[in-house]
Amino acid sequence: MKKMKLAVCGTANPHVRLYYGQFATADFIDLKAICDHDEKRLRDAQDFFKARNMPVKYYTDSNEMLQKHPEIDAVMVGSDNIHHCEHTLAVAEQGKHVFSMKVMSMDENECRTMIKACRQHKVILQIELELHFHPQILNLKKLIESGRLGKVHTMYISNISQSPICYYPNWGVPLLSYGKIVPIRPGEKVCRGGAITDHPHPFDLARWLNGAEFAKVYAVSARNMRDYLEVEDHAAINAEMTNGANVFINPSYAHLEERAVTRRLYWPKSLECMIKAVGTKGTYITDFWNKPHYMLGSGLQSPNRLLLGGGGGCPEFGESRLDSFYLAVTGQRKIESSGEDGLAAVRVMNAAYESIYSNKTVVF
C-alpha cells in the first residue's frame, strides 16, 4: 500500500489530536509535518510524536510548511474555523488534497470559495462529518433506503456534549469559531459560535438520512447553563424537510463537564448522539454513545470511580474518516461528506441562528 504523505495545518480543533494515535500506527499514512501558530499546541504535538520516534517536522507558519514539503499528498486543516478558508485555499493552490475539520467555515461565501478552489485545482475536499461512518447510523441510512421503515415522517436527532471550552479556550472565542461577533439575540452578551457551530452533525444527518433538503427552520436557544461562556451552549431546532419529514434537532453543550484539570469524557453520559426515526413501518432508535455497561478500575481515565462504558463500532477499512479520505485521494472511493455537504449544513446552521435572532421561522 502506497502511503499518503500528510501534513497538518493547525491543531486548534480538538479533534485533530484524536488522530495522533492513528498517525503513529496506520499503515497508509506517512505524517511529514505539523504547523500551528500556537507554540503550546505545537509543543504538545512534538511531545507526542517525539515520544514515538517519528521524524515529523514542525512549523509555526503554514506557508513555510507547504513550501518546504512539496512531497506531501494531502493536508489536514485543523486550525480555528476562522482560518479554514485561508489555509484550504493555500493548500489547494499547491495541488494538495484537503481533509478539513468541521465546520469548514460559518461564512457561506468562504465555503463556496473553498469548494471552487478545490475544483479548480482538481483536489479533493473532504469535511470531517464523521457520523456518516458510525455503523449504527449507516445502518439507519440503509434501512431507510431499503424501505424497511416505510416512509420516515419524524426524526429526532441530538448531538449533546460537554462544553469543550474549559479545556480548549479558543473554542469559546466567537471570532475564532463563528468568524465574526454576532449576538445570539438582539442586545445579548452571548454570541454565535458555540453549541450550534460546534455540532453540524445533526444538520448534516437530517439531509443525508432523509435524502432531502431543509425547507423551514425554527430555532430557540435557552439561557446559557454556564454564565461565563461568551457563546451559546444551548439550542433546539424544529425543521420541516422538503420530503415533508418533521425533524427536531438538539445540538447543545447540555451535559455538564467534570471540574477536572484534564478533560474527561466519561462523566456518566458525556455525549449523546441519539437518532429516533419513526416511519410508517417501523421505528429505529440509536445512540452512538449508549452506555450499556459500567466499569471501575485503577487504569481508567478517572481511576476507581464508577464509569459507564460502551458505544463504539468496528468499521471496515475505507469506512472511517481518514481511510475513506485515503481511498478517495487514491481514486478508490467516492468522497464522503464533501465540501458541498459541509456548506449545506452550514446554511441550515446559519438559518437556525437567524431564527433564534428574529424569533421567526426561516424559510429556504
Residue 111 vs 166, nearer CB to another protein: 166
Options 16-24, 73-81, 95-103, 279-287: segment touching another protein (CB under 8 A): 279-287
For the CB of residue 140, give the shortest distance to another protein in the complex, in Å. Answer: 8
> Is residue 177 a contact partner of residue 79, using CB atoms and an 8 Å limit?
no
Work out the burial of residue 183: count CB atoms within 10 Å of its CB; fewer than 13 is exposed, 13-18 middle, 19 or more buried: middle
Among 48, 156, 167, 168, binds another protein (CB under 8 A): 156
147 part of the interface to another protein, by CB under 8 A: no
Residues numbered 45 to 104 that lie near another protein (CB under 8 A) are: none
Does the footprint of another protein cover residue 264 (CB under 8 A)?
Answer: no
Angle between helix 108-120 and 339-358 (nearest 10): 170
Q: Which is nearer to another protein, 49 or 253 (CB)?
A: 253
Work out how close the CB of 294 gets to another protein at its nearest, in angstroms, rounded to a whole number: 8
CB of 142 to another protein, least distance (A): 4
Q: How far is the CB of 73 from another protein (least distance, A)?
A: 28
Contact string (CB under 8 A) for another protein, positions 217-256, x = contact = -x-xxxxxxxx------x-x-x-x---xxx-x-x-x-xxx
CB 235 within 8 A of CB 221: yes
Nearer of residues 116 and 151 to another protein, judged by Cβ = 151
Residue 325 and residue 126: Cα distance in Å, rounded? 7
> Cβ of residue 251: shortest distance to another protein, in angstroms?
12
Q: Which of 19, 28, 59, 289 binds another protein (CB under 8 A)?
A: 289
Contact 315, 135 (CB under 8 A): yes
Least distance from C-beta 331 to another protein, angstroms? Answer: 25
Supply the minimum distance, in Å, between the C-beta of residue 183 and another protein.
13
Other CB atoms closer than 10 Å to residue 2's CB: what's the count? 9
Shortest CB 285 distance to another protein, Å: 5
The answer to whether residue 311 forms part of the interface with another protein (CB under 8 A) is: yes
Number of residues that bind another protein (CB under 8 A): 56
287 binds another protein (CB under 8 A): yes
The candidate with the shortest Cα–Cα distance to 291, out of 314, 315, 317, 265, is 265
Name which of residues 313 to 342 contact another protein (CB under 8 A).
Answer: 313-314
Assess 214 for contact with another protein (CB under 8 A). no
Length of the chain: 364
Closest by alpha carbon to 355, among 225, 232, 189? 232
Q: Which single residue is written with the C-alpha cell 433538503?
A: 213
Q: How far apart are CA 294 and CA 70, in angstroms?
A: 49
- Name residues contacting another protein, limited to 103-122 (CB under 8 A): none
For 15-26, give one letter per residue: b (16+ CB within 10 A) or e: ebbebbeebbeb
CB of 241 to another protein, least distance (A): 11
Separation between Cα atoms, residue 245 and residue 39, nearest integer Å = 47
Q: Positive or negative CA dihedral for 350, 353, 357, 363?
A: positive
For residues 44 and 258, which CB has a smaller minimum distance to another protein in the complex? 258
Q: Which stretch binds another protein (CB under 8 A): 2-10, 56-64, 175-183, 277-285?
A: 277-285
- Report residue 249 as a C-alpha cell: 434537532
Q: Does 270 bind another protein (CB under 8 A)?
A: no
Residue 194 DSSP code:
S
What residue ranges in the chain does DSSP mark as E strands?
Answer: 4-9, 29-35, 57-59, 74-77, 97-100, 125-127, 152-160, 214-220, 236-241, 246-252, 274-279, 283-287, 293-295, 307-309, 362-363
What is the binding site for another protein (CB under 8 A)?
135-136, 138-139, 142-143, 146, 153-154, 156, 218, 220-227, 234, 236, 238, 240, 244-246, 248, 250, 252, 254-256, 268-269, 276, 278, 281-294, 308, 310-311, 313-314, 359
